[in-house]
Structure 1
Amino acid sequence: MTRPELPFLQLHAFVVLAEELHFGHAAERLGIAQPPLSQQIRRLEEKVGHPLFHREPGRVTLTPAGRELLPAAQQALADVADGLAAARTVRSGRAGRLRIGFAASLALTVLPGLLRTFRQRFPDVQLDVREMTTAPQLAALQDRSIDVGLLREPPADDPELGFRTILREPFVAVLPAGHPLAPRRTVRLADLAESPFVLLPREVGPRLHDRIIALCATAGFTPHVAQRAVEWQTLCALVQAGLGVTLAPASIRRIRLDGVVFRRTAPGDARTRVAVAWRRHEQNPLIAGLLAAVDQDPPEPGSGADG
């Protein structure tokens, strides 16, 4: 046999009467008349299956069953009060959990400062940070497995998702140190036409992939892709091994590998867009808090300096 559920109002009435041991005083404290209080206590006793109070003229005392129930009832009411307080705190955006997806390259620039600023403003919020490329982030936002994404080259428009651009970052050419163009401070994209490329697979970041292909097309060539890899660290290692060159966001120059150099590109106005993404119709104050953190401490675009 399962234990019957004990309604909150009946438990509340029981605890107040147990503390007052007087129906009149308990009813006054509860803000109700004595008959409804008596009804609440009788219904609770029916559910428990035992009397909870000895009722004598001018005197009310707890039965053994009442004494046994009282600590559990007090704890249950305290738990409900704590839960309500926690729910109000979450609703206000002061606590809760925020699940953030981020592109790996943003760990080199945007992510640390953004999380630090957010943590300073919302120290009681639990952050669940997950490294994901752009396409998986968009899917995770749609299936609600993350709350917000930090991604590159977001879609131009999406009826379900909102986007806010937080950074437009220059591209750099990533070259082996022995490449003929390595001595230059600035590399014209057209001069990379004869070099093999290493690139991200299109399926993990289609818009960034297509952006790089489009920059090459504007420079008059279609790159010959010799190798592909998901991580920028791996792509840089392939460049180090002499398997090709690549175009990358300027922040990638913070990956320090012997035998790899990073050079500005010409024309120099090519940028990759970094954005925050979230579900448009979700009322989550923590997302607003993250956007406020971006506004408070906007990231600086990379310079694309030599390295």
Structure 2
Amino acid sequence: MNEYEIETFLTLAEELHFRRTAERLGLSQGRTSQIIRKLERRIGTPLFERTSRRVSLTPIGRQLRDGIEPAHRQIQREIAKAAAAGRGIRGALRLGFFGPATAHELSLIIDEFHDRHPDCEAQLTLETQIDDHLAPLRDESVDLLATLFPVDEPDLTVGPVLLRETWVLAVPSRHPFAGRTSVLLDDLAEDTVPTVDGAPAYWLDQHIPPRASSGRPIRRGPSVTTFQAALALVAAGKAILPLTCQATRYYARPDLAYVPVEDASEAHYGLVWKTTRENARIRAFAELARRPR
């Protein structure tokens, strides 16, 4: 197996999705499928079971993954250590994050980053708020920020996706929606959503559309600047709020209910940094974030 085949096989074994695998590797979906088919022909047996709904590893595929993944990771670590020594990656790397699940993803990368670059200290330094979540990059409080996409700013570079989540709707526990098994985005027009001062308009509109598909306006009410203030507003019965599903794990409260949003697009969290401050430390961390974990 050559490097392309190993990398493609291990990435698909993690993602179990050809499109996401292709995006991570910077390949076309057709090229990704071609590499896997060629590998399967060489081995003489399918490594993945494919249906119109899902991709899964065959028993031999699992055996191959379990056999080569540890060795591949060790090779990558040693190559990275040698490269870091040659580039002189040392000093400090300050990381900001948006949401606790994103902090958890960063902590996993930090552990491996320190193994590869022992002379560079990466630290979680602050949690950004919902009003101007990009401000810590611009005032240079952090070097890298893991935040909720989209980010479309001329002075910022967008890096790899770290986390994908579904959406839920936060409502008061006595709200009529609280007893439902799911809601639709159009249901936002039945109530009021908060206004977030300072957030980019395109970012806010992406996650809280100004109108339902029927054309009905979605009312934006009281203004908030922090996540906890937004939850308090919802608990008080003053608004409802779309959130990613990490809220159900980290912010369970008796006065709130979280209802899955059936037709919302998948939420992506990823790395962003100030373009003019890009350096070897940032590039090394972003490259590591692109690899399977």
TM range (shorter): 0.5 to 0.7
Deviation at 1:210, TM superposition (A): 1.8
Secondary structure at the counterpart of residue 254 of structure 2: coil
User: Is 2:204 aligned against 1:178?
Assistant: no
Deviation digits for residues 5-33 of structure 1, max 9, x if unmatched? xxxxxxxxxxxxxxxxxxxxxxxxxxxxx
User: Is 2:109 aligned against 1:114?
Assistant: yes
Deviation at 1:187, TM superposition (A): 0.7
Q: Please name the residue that 2:256 is paired with.
A: 260
RMSD over aligned Cα atoms: 3.1
User: Is 2:225 aligned against 1:233?
Assistant: no
Larger radius of gyration: 1
Deviates more, 1:180-189 or 1:106-115: 106-115
Q: Among residues 165, 169, 174, which one is paired with 2:165 in the alignment? A: 169
Deviation digits for residues 121-171 of structure 1, max 9, x if unmatched? 33442335222247756454345443222222343363x432124134322
Separation in 1, partners of 2:133, 2:190: 34
Compared CA separation, residues 145 and 178, structure 1 to 2 (3 A): closer
Counterpart AA for 1:121:
R
User: Is 2:115 aligned against 1:126?
Assistant: no
- Structure 1-normalised TM-score? 0.57
Q: Please name the residue that 1:84 is paired with.
A: none
Separation in 1, partners of 2:188, 2:231: 16
Q: Among residues 143, 146, 152, which one is paired with 1:150 in the alignment? A: 146
Separation in 2, partners of 1:228, 1:281: 33
User: Is 2:192 aligned against 1:196?
Assistant: yes
Separation in 2, partners of 1:192, 1:136: 23
Compared CA separation, residues 202 and 125, structure 1 to 2 (3 A): same
Is 1:202–1:210's contact at 8 Å kept on the other side of the alignment? no
Is 2:102–2:146's contact at 8 Å kept on the other side of the alignment? no
Q: Among residues 275, 281, 290, which one is paired with 1:286 in the alignment? A: 281
Compared CA separation, residues 238 and 143, structure 1 to 2 (3 A): closer
Q: Among residues 87, 91, 96, which one is paired with 2:91 in the alignment? A: 96
Q: Among the aligned pairs, what percent are the same residue?
A: 24
Compared CA separation, residues 198 and 126, structure 1 to 2 (3 A): same
Deviation at 1:224, TM superposition (A): 2.1
Counterpart AA for 1:187:
V
Separation in 2, partners of 1:157, 1:204: 12
Deviation at 1:191, TM superposition (A): 2.5
Deviation at 1:98, TM superposition (A): 0.8
Runs of 5+ in structure 2 lacking a partner?
1-83
Deviates more, 1:110-119 or 1:232-241: 110-119
Secondary structure at the counterpart of residue 277 of structure 1: strand
Is 2:128–2:136's contact at 8 Å kept on the other side of the alignment? no
Q: Please name the residue that 2:209 is paired with.
A: 214
Deviation digits for residues 190-248 of structure 1, max 9, x if unmatched? 2332212234x141354332213327433643222332322223322222222221111
Counterpart AA for 2:167:
F
- Structure 2-normalised TM-score? 0.59
Separation in 1, partners of 2:179, 2:185: 15
Deviation at 1:290, TM superposition (A): 1.3
Compared CA separation, residues 112 and 279, structure 1 to 2 (3 A): same
Deviation at 1:271, TM superposition (A): 2.9
Separation in 2, partners of 1:136, 1:263: 26
Is 1:213–1:222's contact at 8 Å kept on the other side of the alignment? no
